[in-house]
Amino acid sequence: MISTDRRAAARVSNGASRTVGEVKQSFPIVKTHTHFKASNGASVWRWLKSRTNPREKTAESGLRGAPGVARTKSYSAETGYVYQYVYRGFRKIPDPPFGTDYIFSVSRDRKVVFPATIRLLDTALTDCAVVSGREILNVEQYALAKMALFAGFDRIDTMEEWQKPLTPEGSEMADYLRALGRI
């Protein structure tokens, strides 16, 4: 049996104790992950967010303009497929020919998801601006990318054709703006 003084000393030095029968046993408190306190939930979420798959980070690195919550949308194409797509963001093309890539994650069977890139070249946007008589706004550029994606859904049958970026010409973009009522 442990004396009362030793129990008190053990309780103070070890930080915790419990009673087993008549004998009071002490055990040390082990502090683990002091960074993740229950009172500070934000630090827990930061840690969880840092635990994402590294391949996912590199696959979409450098993308901007992605929505906070990704929304899956559907499109029934003339090819007979019903595509599901999610907008992932855009990135500027740093090398000639300059422009912007709009990236979408696409599936036509809900099993295989592949990236679809719509490339809007600055030269084609300039041609489209000449036809419309004004500068093409950023929101209109996104709309042009989406219209080009829909045209790709209607036109492309094989998965191999989706491996390279779809690049609409200035005249195609002007047609898309006319369809949207922007010219």
Task: Give pLDDT < 50 ranges for the chain.
Answer: 9-10, 12-13, 17, 36, 54-59
pLDDT at site 48 = 59
Q: What is the pTM of this model?
A: 0.67
pLDDT at site 54 = 47
Residue pair 20/13 in contact (Cβ under 8 Å)? The answer is no
pLDDT at site 128 = 94
CA-to-CA distance for 168 and 183, rounded, in angstroms? Answer: 17
Q: Where are the alpha helices (DSSP H) in the chain?
A: 4-14, 41-50, 54-59, 122-132, 138-155, 170-179
Residues 6+ apart with CB under 8 A from 11: 17, 24, 26
pLDDT at site 147 = 97
- The angle at the Cα of 76, spanning 129 to 166, to the nearest 5 degrees, equals 40
CA-to-CA distance for 66 and 99, rounded, in angstroms? Answer: 18
Per-residue tokens: 174 = 């002007």
